[in-house]
Amino acid sequence: MAPVSRKRHVSSAVAEQQTDKRVKIEPNHKVEEILQSKKHANAVYDIFELLQSEKVADVVGAAGACSRLFCCLLQRREMFQGKVPPEEEAMSGHYSPQEKYSIFMRHRYSSCVEMLLELLDHELHQIAESGLCCLMQFAAAEGNHPLLDLDWSEHHSFPRELILAVVNKLLSKTVDSSLLISRFQEFLEMDDVRYYVMSSVRENLTKVMDRSRGEVLPVYQSNVFTLMSNISIPNQESELTSFMVKQGANHADWKAAKLKEHKRVFEKMWLGFLKYQLPSNMYKKVLVILHDSVLPHMSEPSLMIDFLTAAYEMGGGISLLALNGLFILIHEHNLDYPDFYKKLYSLLEPSVFHVKYRARFFHLANLFLSSSHLPAYLVAAFAKRLARLALTAPPTGLLIALPFIYNLIRRHPSVRVLLHRPSEEEATVVDPYVMEEEDPAQCGALESSLWEIKTLQKHHHPDVSKAAGLINTPLVQQEEDISKVLETTTYQLMEQELKQTVVKKIPLEFETAAHFLQGGGGALGRHFCLTFTSV
């Protein structure tokens, strides 16, 4: 940061005494002096000196003093308004003392803003937070007492340049700003601030990512996502009631007061972020909130189709998370995805029972397979693949998979043949189902049977063996509610067993031993004995 200029105001006749012994500066006292008399204008440099101090208390106190000083000057309109002339020109030109003072303080205000912006990168959160709060107080004061003549109907004298500068500092390429952004969330609750922050984020994204040629910038993209994910759009225009800048008579024409403009900028911001390559862990963070916090607030959610289909093709956990967004686009916006079920079928792998998003996947898969118009071969393929995966699944996964399979059979009577197909007991039967086949139409599931569920009837866990035993009885038409078991954990299963009121006594041996090494018919006692020796 450039050092603070030590130029003096021409009307100030008293020079500061230069002594080796420094006197403690009271910033609030200096503010009082400046506001009471213009001849003390140079005292602003003392406040700036504290603002660059290494002591936390000095910096915090100086930031508060700057806020009080310049907000008051803005309210009094004692700073030069309009395009400010260069300071050297103003001091030597044909300006009145009052004009020279206003130009001087206007330049000091600009210097203060620059120093406060530098504080946003400070390693101590308390200092960075003080700088942020002071800048936002400047924005509020400048918005209600503008320094420039702006287009009132479009921007309502909002301090766009100052908000853009703050956003540019929050979106650092080298420093994690998540803690400071969480503090900034308080200001995002104001509708006009949120609108111009979204515009600033989009502008910053275009500039930074185009310069880096779209390369992955993990720290920067993480800061952008943190800021964007804290932005929530109201559902109705009547909810746009909180504004930092007081609304004038023509506020109805102000873009920040229109919900459709908020949605438009919100949509452009997210599309601008997602069009560039993201870090691998960022895809999951985006997809977790996309269906709930992004798509409902977009003007045209179908514009997300390219991102969601690309994520769906990636495989693994990312594909599982992309299902939420695709579900909304398919069911609510008539998205046509020809190979959707083929890809969904390929997601059924052993790892699906162990991933963090298991409950979400089975919930959505259950919805996608609820249609009665699905072909029998497709439903049979899903039922058979789940049954095969069940052979190696944990008990918590089996308590989901088995009711899931039964529900598929209940919905589609044409696949009941998987339950009742006769088999030759004496001959070895080869299962026609091909697990490795990626196309559900070619896997041969409809010619197979659910012998895997018969095998699970001898499972070690009683709840699993009981659920598998249902295949021996006619299935009732009422579907089972799998939502109750989607979140079940191994710990919960163990707790259920331990809390059972009836505990059976399990024999551990046939003959109770009365003495050590005396069980088993006395054989151990005849051949072994214990001797104790003292050391």
Q: What is the per-residue pLDDT for 36? A: 92
Cα dihedral 209, 212, 218, 223, rounded to 10, equals -40
> Which of the two residues, 420 and 354, has the higher pLDDT score?
354
Q: What is the pLDDT of residue 245?
A: 85
Residue 521 pLDDT more than 50? yes
Q: 50: closest CA among 103, 127, 142, 136? A: 127
What pLDDT is attached to residue 9?
A: 43
pLDDT at 302 over 60: yes
Q: Mean pLDDT, to the nearest integer, of 438-463?
A: 90
Residues 180-193 have pLDDT tens digits of 999 999 999 999 99
Cα dihedral 222, 228, 231, 234, rounded to 10, equals -150
Among the residue ranges 157-161, 286-290, 445-449, the one predicted with the least confidence is 157-161
What pLDDT is stored for residue 335 in this prediction? 80
Does the pLDDT of residue 168 top 90, yes or no?
A: yes
Q: Specify which of 195-204, 234-243, 460-469 reaches the highest per-range mean pLDDT.
A: 195-204
Residue 428 confidence (pLDDT) above 90: no
- For 145-255, where are the alpha helices, taking DSSP H only? 152-155, 160-170, 178-188, 191-211, 218-229
Band of pLDDT at residue 345, cut at 50, 70 and 90: very high
Check: pTM over 0.85? Answer yes or no.
no
- Report pLDDT digits (tens) over 476-503: 888 888 877 777 777 777 777 777 655 5
Does 10 score more than 80 pLDDT?
no
Handedness of CA 485, 491, 492, 497 (dihedral sign): positive
Answer whether 418's CB lies under 8 Å from 409's CB: yes
CA angle, 25 as apex, 34 and 98 as ends, to 5°? 15
Tell me the C-alpha to C-alpha distance, in Å, between residue 202 and each of 1, 234, 291, 301, 317.
26, 19, 21, 18, 28
Query: If DSSP codes are grouped into helix, strand and coil, which group holds residue 198?
Result: helix
Pairwise pLDDT comparison (171 vs 317), residue with the higher score: 171
The number of residues in the chain equals: 535
Question: How many Cβ atoms are within 10 Å of 247's Cβ, its own excluded?
Answer: 13
Q: What percent of the chain has pLDDT over 70?
A: 84
Cβ atoms of residues 483 and 457 within 8 Å: no
Note whether 388 and 350 are within 8 A (CB).
no
Least confident of 17-21, 152-156, 452-456: 17-21
CA distance 145 to 122: 29
User: In whole angstroms, what is the distance from residue 247 CA to residue 144 CA?
Assistant: 9
User: DSSP assignment, residue 322?
Assistant: H
Q: Cα(214)–Cα(54) distance, rounded to whole angstroms?
A: 38
d(CA 217, CA 231): 21
For residue 535, what is the enclosing H or E element? none
Chain centre to alpha carbon of residue 227? 9
Pairwise pLDDT comparison (484 vs 436), residue with the higher score: 436
| 6 pLDDT more than 70 | no
Would you say residue 522 has pLDDT above 70?
A: no
Residue (of 260, 266, 259) closest to 239 by Cα position: 259
| CA–CA gap between residue 114 and residue 109 (Å, rounded) | 9
pLDDT at 55 over 50: yes
Name the more confident of 487 and 365. 365
Which amino acid is residue 66, in one-letter code? C
Closest-CA residue to 230 (of 271, 282, 178, 278): 178
- How many CB atoms are located within 10 Å of the residue 387 CB? 24
> At residue 8, does pLDDT exceed 50?
no
Q: How is residue 276 written in tokens? A: 């560039």
What tokens does 230 get? 């804290």
502 membership: H or E segment, kind and range: none
How many other β-carbons are positioned within 10 Å of the β-carbon of residue 260? 10
CA–CA dist 385, 387 (Å, integer): 5
Q: Where are the domains of the chain?
A: 24-149, 338-421+431-503
Question: What is the C-alpha separation between 175 and 201, in angstroms, rounded?
Answer: 17
Q: Tokens 């196309």 correspond to what residue?
A: 439
**pLDDT surpasses 50 at 15:** no
Higher-confidence residue of 288 and 490: namely: 288
> pLDDT band for position 21 (50/70/90)?
very low
pLDDT digits (tens, 9 = 90+) for 200-252: 999 999 999 988 888 889 999 999 999 999 999 998 888 888 889 876 655 66
Residue 204: name the closest of 145, 257, 131, 272 by CA.
272
Q: What is the residue-averaged pLDDT of the chain?
A: 84
Tens digit of each residue's pLDDT (9 = 90 or more) over 38-52: 899 999 999 999 999
Is the pLDDT at 16 greater than 90, yes or no? no
Residue 295 burial (CB count, 10 A):
21
